[in-house]
Amino acid sequence: MGIRKIPFATMADGSDLNLYIYEIIGNNGDGPTVAISAAIHGDESTGTKIILDIYRELKDGNFKGKLLLLPVANPLSFAALKRVTPDLYLDPSNLNRVFPGNENGSLTEQLAALITRSFLQDIDVYIDLHAGGHSQTVDYVYIINDQDLSRQFGSKILFRVNKAYEGNYFQGSVSNVLIERNIPMVTVELGGGMVDQKIYEERGKNGILNMLCYLNVLSEKPELPKEQIIVESIVSVRPHFGGILETEAPPLGEEIGGGDVLGRVISPYTFKELEVIKNPVRKGIMILSHLTRDVIHVGDYGYMIGNLETGERIARKG
| Residue bearing the bigger pLDDT, 4 or 162 | 4
Please give the average per-residue pLDDT across 285-312, as a whole number.
Answer: 96
251 exposed, middle or buried (CB, 10 Å; 0-12, 13-18, 19+)?
exposed
Q: Is the pLDDT of residue 288 over 90?
A: yes
pLDDT digits (tens, 9 = 90+) for 198-245: 999 999 999 999 999 999 999 999 999 999 999 999 999 999 999 999
pLDDT digits (tens, 9 = 90+) for 163-181: 655 556 678 999 989 999 9
Radius of gyration of the chain (CA): 20
Q: Tell me the C-alpha to C-alpha distance, in Å, between residue 254 and each of 148, 250, 259, 291.
A: 23, 6, 15, 14
Domain 2-225 has CATH 3.40.50.2300: no
State the pLDDT at residue 168. 63
pLDDT digits (tens, 9 = 90+) for 108-118: 999 999 999 99
User: Per-residue confidence at 305, pLDDT binned at 50, 70, 90?
Assistant: very high
Residues of the chain with CATH 2.40.50.100: 233-315
Tell me if the bond preceding 100 is cis, omega within 30° of 0.
yes
pLDDT digits (tens, 9 = 90+) for 121-167: 999 999 999 999 889 999 999 999 999 999 999 999 999 987 655 55
Q: Tell me the C-alpha to C-alpha distance, in Å, between residue 231 and each of 141, 307, 313.
A: 10, 6, 9
The DSSP annotation for 284-311 comes to: EEEEEEE-S-EEE-TTS--EEEEEGGG-
233-315: CATH topology is OB fold (Dihydrolipoamide Acetyltransferase, E2P) (2.40.50)
Q: Is the pLDDT of residue 89 over 70?
A: no
Residues of the chain with CATH 3.40.630.10: 2-225
* Full-model pTM: 0.95
User: Per-residue confidence at 61, pLDDT binned at 50, 70, 90?
Assistant: very high
**Averaged confidence pLDDT in the chain:** 94
With beta carbons less than 8 A apart as the criterion, state whether 37 and 128 touch.
yes
With beta carbons less than 8 A apart as the criterion, state whether 138 and 287 touch.
yes
pLDDT digits (tens, 9 = 90+) for 210-221: 999 999 999 999
State the pLDDT at residue 259. 97
The whole-angstrom separation of Cα 66 and Cα 263 is: 45
Q: Is the pLDDT of residue 254 over 70?
A: yes
State the pLDDT at residue 311. 86
What percentage of the chain carries pLDDT values higher than 90?
84
With beta carbons less than 8 A apart as the criterion, state whether 40 and 95 touch.
yes
Residue type, 45: S
